[in-house]
Amino acid sequence: MKKSLPFDVDKARVSYHAQKTADGVRVVAAVALASVVEDYEAVFRDAGFSPGVVMPSMLAALGAAESEHPTLVVKVDAHTTSIAILNAGQLQLFRTLENTRGVTITGEQLAEEVYPSVVFFQDTYHMNIEKIFVAGLSDTGSAAPALRTQTGAEVQELVRPSLLGATAGGSVPRWRMAGVVGALVS
């Protein structure tokens, strides 16, 4: 791990989750710079609360994805595109890619970025993606045709109106709520 981190491992915070599989145990680990985690926790302490769990929003967002069959979850934000592939409730693949286009990325560009991960999954696990959930785009519909053409899978918005409640219509766009919704429904 020392060689793959962009900072000194002694300044890291590590969290992990072990998943039992038919073949043994698979571990999902998250590593962050301790000062970054402390900054997030300080916001809650300053507001009079005790911080609980600090996790990347993509990992939190996965709680909103139904994943009984091979499922691709794509979350776009201003600087990164995160990709996760789930199957039978298990995380099979996780990648975060630099995204210089931000949330203005086109459907074709997004499909092009996720394609290598889809091929890797198919080659490694000998399964096809059956469903795709997208978050972080103001118009998921623009990405759906390109992703569907590439995979043949059904494409849906990750944060559906039903997950926010009937009266949801606040000032924060639904497509920006993936991490919060996923953490709350999981």
Q: What is the pLDDT of residues 48-105, one digit of tens each?
A: 999 888 888 899 999 999 889 999 999 998 889 999 999 998 899 999 999 888 778 8
Q: Is 136 left (phi over 0), alpha (psi -120 to 50) or beta?
A: left
User: Is there a contact between 70 and 129 (Cβ–Cβ < 8 Å)?
Assistant: yes
Using alpha carbons, select from 138, 155, 131, 152 the residue that is nearest to residue 66.
131
Q: 101 and 28, same structural domain? A: no
> What sign has the CA pseudo-torsion 69, 122, 149, 63?
positive
Q: 149 and 77, same structural domain? A: yes
The CATH number linked to 169 is 3.30.420.40
Q: 25 and 86, same structural domain? A: no
Q: What percent of the chain has pLDDT over 90?
A: 49
> What pTM was computed for the model?
0.85
- Quote the CA–CA distance of 86 and 58 in Å, as a whole number: 13
Using alpha carbons, select from 131, 133, 129, 128 the residue that is nearest to residue 163.
133
Residue-averaged pLDDT of the chain: 88
Q: 171 and 88, same structural domain? A: yes
Q: 84 and 115, same structural domain? A: yes
- Quote the CA–CA distance of 110 and 8 in Å, as a whole number: 32
Using alpha carbons, select from 19, 4, 175 the residue that is nearest to residue 88.
19
Position 167 confidence tier, pLDDT thresholds 50, 70, 90? low
Can you give the residue range of the structural domain that contains 44? 1-54
According to the model, what pLDDT value does residue 177 have? 82
Q: What is the 3-state secondary structure (H, E, C) of 88-121?
A: CCEEEEEEEEECCCHHHCCHHHHHHHHHHHHHHH
Position 39 confidence tier, pLDDT thresholds 50, 70, 90? very high
Q: 162 and 82, same structural domain? A: yes
Q: 45 and 66, same structural domain? A: no
Q: 20 and 65, same structural domain? A: no
